[in-house]
């Protein structure tokens, strides 16, 4: 059996990254509805198969993060999704958090739930072929009010408990404290909040004795808020993102993956290319790659429209986005 560190590091194979295809039923329904596609369990299965069944994805993907429903579903080729991905050298991962819940002590913020029955679920997910996992926490910026220190700490504690449980189960944890792009905040504010979020997180991970070497951080980029009226250049994004990560992330972790967060697909690719260049130029200690959902899927979904005759065009759009993301991390 390969050890967890090797397993975590293998997700950073040169030029490869991770497809996040772990939208909950609620989110998948909204994504399909945005393209005029009425949802059903079968439509959601076809939505996943559109991506997992595309020929050649193994050139660009080291892993795919699945939603629990997908672990037991089959592609049009009649193969279970995890087995089909694994047969092409793509590690199947699983989102294990159960979404957010209100935080009574700070009503405008959310906590992530899912710890209660996590150990039992991990055993089942592993038996279904998952080798790595993801837990997402949400960090909202609003003026100088949010995020609150108590929400940052509580979400970090839950991330630490998640990571411990996952490592004990022999799986790799991806920790995703997503600092939201939505908002009117400045780039400076985004950088300060990312630095604080990650500093709090890594201090709490140490308190809980979480093994650094086998964990992966999934992070946002430092961006001016989406509603700020400012569009940062890739160089600005790269300089601020790499500086924030250097200030707050220990060098020993297995690597860092980026989410796209609602950027356009071009923006997400251009910013990632600039971050890669900056990280290389400044000798950053961790491997970096992408773990995008929307920036890889958006064009394909628009082309697909839920129709079988559009599958080839939709898959071509997906492969073109994958190829750009792969080029960005080379
Ligand atoms: P986006 O790339 O669409 O931000 O999604 C990544 C993800 O995994 C969110 O949890």
- pLDDT, tens digit, for every residue of 14-49? 999 999 999 999 999 999 999 999 989 999 999 999
What is the model's pLDDT at position 66? 99
Ligand 1 pocket test, pick from 155, 266, 294, 301 with the greatest ligand atom count within 8 Å of Cβ, gives 294
Domain coordinates in residue numbering, the chain = 4-328
Q: Which residue's C-alpha comes closest to atom 5 of ligand 1?
A: 293
Is there an atom of ligand 1 within 6 Å of 295 CB? yes
Q: Residue 75 C-alpha to ligand 1 middle, in angstroms?
A: 23
Active site residues: 176, 218
CA distances from 255 to 21, 31, 143, 215, 289 (A): 20, 29, 31, 7, 8
In Å, how far from its chain's centre is CA 5? 19
CA angle (86 as vertex; 221, 126 as ends), nearest 5:
80
Q: Does the predicted TM-score (pTM) go above 0.75?
A: yes
Q: Residue 261 C-alpha to ligand 1 middle, in angstroms?
A: 6
What is the model's pLDDT at position 210? 98
CATH superfamily of 4-328: Aldolase class I (3.20.20.70)
DSSP strand E in the chain: where? 17-21, 61-66, 91-95, 100-102, 110-112, 132-139, 172-179, 216-219, 255-258, 288-292
Q: Which residue's C-alpha comes closest to atom 8 of ligand 1?
A: 20
Q: Residue 137 C-alpha to ligand 1 middle, in angstroms?
A: 11
In this model, does residue 1 exceed pLDDT 60? no
- pLDDT, tens digit, for every residue of 246-291? 999 999 999 999 999 999 999 999 999 999 999 999 999 999 999 9
Beta-sheet pairing, 172-179 with 91-95: unpaired
């Amino acid at each position: 059996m390969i050890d967890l560190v090797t397993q975590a590091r293998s997700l950073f194979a040169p030029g490869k990254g991770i497809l996040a295809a772990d939208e909950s039923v609620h989110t998948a329904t909204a994504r399909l509805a945005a393209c005029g596609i009425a949802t059903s369990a079968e439509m959601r299965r076809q939505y996943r198969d559109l991506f997992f069944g595309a020929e050649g994805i193994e050139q660009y993907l080291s892993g795919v993060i699945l939603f629990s429903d997908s672990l037991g579903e089959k592609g049009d080729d009649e193969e279970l999704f995890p087995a089909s991905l694994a047969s092409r050298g793509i590690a199947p991962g699983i989102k294990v958090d159960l979404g957010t819940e209100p935080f009574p002590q700070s009503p405008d913020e959310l906590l992530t739930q899912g710890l209660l029955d996590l150990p039992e679920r991990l055993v089942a997910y592993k038996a279904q072929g998952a080798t790595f996992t993801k837990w997402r926490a949400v960090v909202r910026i609003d003026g100088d009010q949010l995020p609150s220190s108590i929400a940052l700490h509580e979400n970090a504690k839950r991330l630490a408990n998640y990571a411990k449980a996952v490592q004990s189960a022999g799986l790799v944890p991806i920790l995703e404290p997503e600092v939201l792009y939505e908002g009117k905040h400045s780039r400076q504010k985004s950088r300060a909040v990312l630095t604080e979020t990650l500093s709090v997180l890594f201090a709490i991970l140490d308190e809980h004795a979480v093994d650094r070497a086998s964990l992966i951080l999934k992070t946002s980029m430092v961006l001016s808020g989406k509603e700020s009226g400012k569009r940062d250049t890739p160089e600005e994004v790269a300089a601020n993102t790499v500086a924030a990560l250097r200030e707050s992330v220990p060098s020993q972790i297995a690597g860092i993956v980026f989410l796209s967060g609602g950027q356009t697909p071009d923006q997400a690719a251009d910013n990632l290319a600039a971050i890669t260049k900056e990280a290389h130029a400044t000798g950053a200690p961790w491997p970096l790659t992408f773990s995008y959902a929307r920036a890889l899927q958006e064009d394909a979904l628009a082309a697909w429209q839920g129709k079988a005759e559009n599958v080839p065009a939709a898959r071509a759009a997906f492969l073109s986005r994958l190829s750009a993301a792969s080029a960005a991390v080379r």
